[in-house]
Amino acid sequence: MSIETRPTPETNTVESSSELIRLEQVTKRFGDNTVLDHLDFSVDAGKHVTLIGPSGSGKTTILRLLMTLLKPDEGTITVDGQRLFPASDKEVREVRKKIGMVFQQFNLFPNMSVLRNITEAPVTVLGMSKDEAAERARGLLEMVGLADKCDARPTQLSGGQQQRVAIARALAMRPQVLLLDEVTSALDPELVAGVLDVLRDIARSTDITMLCVTHEMNFARDISDQVLMFDSGRVIESGPPEKIFTEPERDRTREFLSAVL
Amino acid sequence: MNWNWSAVSDFMPHFWDGLLVTLQILVVGSLISFVLGLVWALLMRVPSRWVTWPVGAVTEFVRNTPLLVQLFFLFYVLPEWGVTASAMTTGVVGIGLHYSTYTMQVYRAGIEAVPVGQWEAATALNLPLRRTWTAVILPQAVRRVVPALGNYVISMLKDTPLLMAITVLEMLGEARLFSQANFQFTEPLTVIGVAFVVLSYLASLLLRALERRLVH
């Protein structure tokens, strides 16, 4: 099984250690609540980074800032050398092409067939022909094990199937970065494995950069190059999964892990 | 009370004329209210007070003044300002405009009921704003509001006799004309009363069929 990823010159020419995402001194407040506090944070191209930490620690906020669903109050965000914040609407639209996101609640379009959910953006945003988009969509559906569901409506699918369609939909835009926001949290336990298997495949067989917020620690251990432990809007510890999960340095990390593992 | 069947049969040719006019008012008036209501609802979402304030003020004014007053105004006052139209056109536009201020609220509720996740998914896929509206938000919003829109159609049906006041000969107008000419009131008024019940019922059947189709 192989997945076509964006064969852009950017990804092909960058060194594996080059920086793709950078947040500098980013602060985000909701009212009086400071969710991110002058956060510096960067991710190298092709890396799989998992954000862990207690809820309310700002993990999801980072993904939402990168997807431009939120705007920071202070700081700068760049992706692949281009500004995402502060930036003009036009710049934002350009940079956003490089980023895909999968949501906790799937957010498929219920008024469209599964196939059109996947082809809609490639056709209207990338200007792909309908035939080409449909062919690629079928390939992606096959990859996520749902080749027979092209004509189904999202509401006819199980949560796990919907989430796999949502993954296919995000990949159809050939993003360089895939943001995964607690993608299995809304699923029945028996459906989680299917979704995680698909993501493991993607992590293994593509050079896509992944930012993942999850409570599935085994999954995080499997796919991550780097794990970041968040607490109160700051990264309090980071490192390879073997280190974070087996010998964390901070008491807070140890405490958190013993609560979730 | 004397019931005279021959008065009924005498009235029937006039009744059909009136029925046709009533249906025309209803169909065209509904279409105007559906389209205009959507326009108002979308304009109210423009992030500028220069748009939302005037639209809000005008629609609030129209919604809170009686349709009959509006019809008189359109028919008798506008010509003084050089705007003239036939009674029928004036009436259809008037009733459509009036009801657009109700359908506007229906659309607003329908649009707000689309989960925020749908907007977020559209943003994540980089869909242009226009495409987000036409392909994602409105199809879901409209589906939700069909029952409420249908109720306003039935409500509008029952307001069509107001157009009689500006000389439109819909069912009530025909009945009144016939009654005054023949001194027969019971039969024509009963006939159009039954006709209103039948029309409302047919409309509600149509509406339920439409709802079923949209839900599945």
Residue A178 phi/psi, 5° resolution? Answer: -115, 120
C-alpha distances in angstroms, A244 versus A62, A219, A257, B17? 20, 14, 9, 84
B130's tokens:
């226009």
Residue B3 pLDDT: 87
* ipTM field: 0.90
C-alpha distances in angstroms, B52 versus A169, B42, B56, B110, B164? 36, 10, 6, 18, 34
The confidence band for A260, taking pLDDT boundaries of 50, 70 and 90, is: confident
* DSSP class of B189: H
CATH class for the region spanning B19-170: mainly alpha
Q: Does B139 touch chain A (CB under 8 A)?
A: yes
pLDDT tens readout for residues B147-184: 999 999 999 999 999 999 999 999 999 999 999 999 98
Q: Does B45 touch chain A (CB under 8 A)?
A: no
Q: Does A97 touch chain B (CB under 8 A)?
A: yes
Contacts with B126 from chain A: Cβ below 8 Å: 93, 96-97, 121, 125, 173
Pairwise CB contact (< 8 Å): A93 & B136: no
Q: Closest-CA residue in chain B for A124?
A: B127
Of the ranges A132-141, A243-252, B23-32, which one carries the lowest mean pLDDT score? Answer: A243-252
Residue A201 scores a pLDDT above 60: yes
User: What is the C-alpha to C-alpha distance for residues A50 and A46, in angstroms, rounded to an integer?
Assistant: 13
Residue A13 scores a pLDDT above 60: no
pLDDT tens readout for residues A39-85: 998 999 999 999 999 988 889 999 999 999 999 999 999 999 999 99
Residue B1 pLDDT: 63
Which residue in B159, B189, B193 sits closest to B174, CA to CA?
Answer: B189
Predicted TM-score (pTM) of this structure: 0.87
User: What is the C-alpha to C-alpha distance for residues B163 and B90, in angstroms, rounded to an integer?
Assistant: 9
Residue B215 phi/psi, 5° resolution? Answer: -75, -35
Pairwise CB contact (< 8 Å): A120 & B125: yes
Q: Does B113 touch chain A (CB under 8 A)?
A: no
Which residue in A34, A14, A31 sits closest to A81, CA to CA?
Answer: A14
Average pLDDT value for residue range B129-137: 96
Residue A256 scores a pLDDT above 80: yes
Residue A41 pLDDT: 87
pLDDT tens readout for residues A131-189: 999 999 999 999 999 999 999 999 999 999 999 999 999 999 999 999 999 999 999 99
| CA atoms within 13 Å, Cβ hemisphere of A14 | 20
Average pLDDT value for residue range A87-108: 94
Residue A195 pLDDT: 94
The confidence band for B25, taking pLDDT boundaries of 50, 70 and 90, is: very high
Strand-by-strand arrangement of the A19-30 sheet: A33-44, A19-30, A74-79, A82-85
Under 8 Å between Cβ of A115 and A151? yes
Inter-chain contacts counted by CB atoms under 8 A, chains A and B = 58
Q: Does A109 touch chain B (CB under 8 A)?
A: yes
Contacts with A170 from chain B: Cβ below 8 Å: 124-125
User: What is the C-alpha to C-alpha distance for residues A257 and A244, in angstroms, rounded to an integer?
Assistant: 9
The confidence band for B210, taking pLDDT boundaries of 50, 70 and 90, is: confident
Average pLDDT value for residue range B120-147: 95
Residue B207 pLDDT: 87
User: What is the C-alpha to C-alpha distance for residues A254 and A247, in angstroms, rounded to an integer?
Assistant: 8
Residue B128 scores a pLDDT above 70: yes
Average pLDDT value for residue range A103-122: 97
What residues does each domain of chain B span? 19-170
Would you say how long chain A is, in residues?
261
